[in-house]
Amino acid sequence: MIIDLHTHSTASDGGLAPQQLVARAVDRGVDLLAITDHDTVDAYLALEDLPGDLQLVCGAEFSCNWNGVNIHVLGLGLDVSEPLLCDAIAGQKVAREQRSETIAARLSKKGIDIDVEALRSSVADRPLGRPDFARYMVEKGYVGSMNEAFDRFLGAGKIGDVKAMWPSLASVLSWIHAGGGVAAIAHPMHYKMTNAKLRRLLVEFKDLGGEALEVCNGRPADQELRYLRELCRHFEFEASAGSDFHHLSQWCDLGCDAEVVGNCQPVWQRWLRAS
């Protein structure tokens, strides 16, 4: 079985429109798909009939602040009509707009002039993200590549890494649960925490009602997989897995073999159709 519970479309910072992403998933043999755009479920509102036998799980990837660290939490199995969830997503959109203004102001202090209105018009209806600033900086010749933009200006701890306005971990979990969803910590190894700090995060996440941990994000090394499976079993989380797909040109395409979570309890069993 091929699953993918972490993907992005043009509704946030992905390169494929929602219908194109779905078509790509079918071509890749994906059986169960979640589109988890950043702080939005707009992709689901744009989708029409699903092709083939693909099963879709409604999701989103929410940003929050935990002890000064920007943590991402996947909300899976969401009811997009739930008022509290809709209000929270609207609030996140405003926060992202304010964040883009702050990023532009900070970059200006480094001699990088960003035409925010022009940049906004290039991404249609969605809030700006750091990849949009990176592409702009490449186009205008401030940096030679997107990697350089993140390494020098936009990556973790750099001047364009703005996260102070993100809600708390508790708030994000309350939104997900109000929408009938399941909360999963996304890419736990990306935060570069010590083992002790990561475990503190998982303890608090568990205490707040968090249910799952993303054991596989993209194509992790075997050592990382073993470690995350161990954490998943220790904290009695359900296991999630996804490609974190953004663009066709990136290193990881859509789809994960369901066997990747080993002997952990798969979170996707909640949504499988009866055979």
- Mean pLDDT computed over 103-127: 85
Residue 138, pLDDT above cutoff 80: yes
Residue 164, pLDDT above cutoff 70: no
Q: How sure is the predictor about 135, in pLDDT bands with cuts at 50, 70 and 90?
A: confident
Residue 275, pLDDT above cutoff 60: no
Please state, in angstroms and rounded to a whole number, the distance separating the CA atoms of residues 261 and 243. Answer: 13
Strand order from edge to edge, sheet including 182-185: 238-242, 212-217, 182-185, 69-76, 55-66, 32-35, 2-4, 256-257
**What are the chain's domains?**
2-80+169-270 (3.20.20.140), 90-154 (1.10.150)
Residue 195, pLDDT above cutoff 90: yes
Which range (30-34, 59-63, 128-132) has the least confidence?
A: 128-132
- Mean pLDDT computed over 208-219: 95
Cross-strand pairs, 55: 32
pLDDT digits (tens, 9 = 90+) for 37-81: 999 999 998 887 777 789 999 999 999 999 988 899 999 999 988
The pLDDT value recorded for residue 213 is 98
The pLDDT value recorded for residue 240 is 98
Report residue 259: phi and psi, to 5°.
Answer: -70, -10
Higher pLDDT, 120 or 62: 62
Q: How sure is the predictor about 168, in pLDDT bands with cuts at 50, 70 and 90?
A: very high
- Mean pLDDT computed over 207-229: 94
Mean pLDDT of the chain: 90
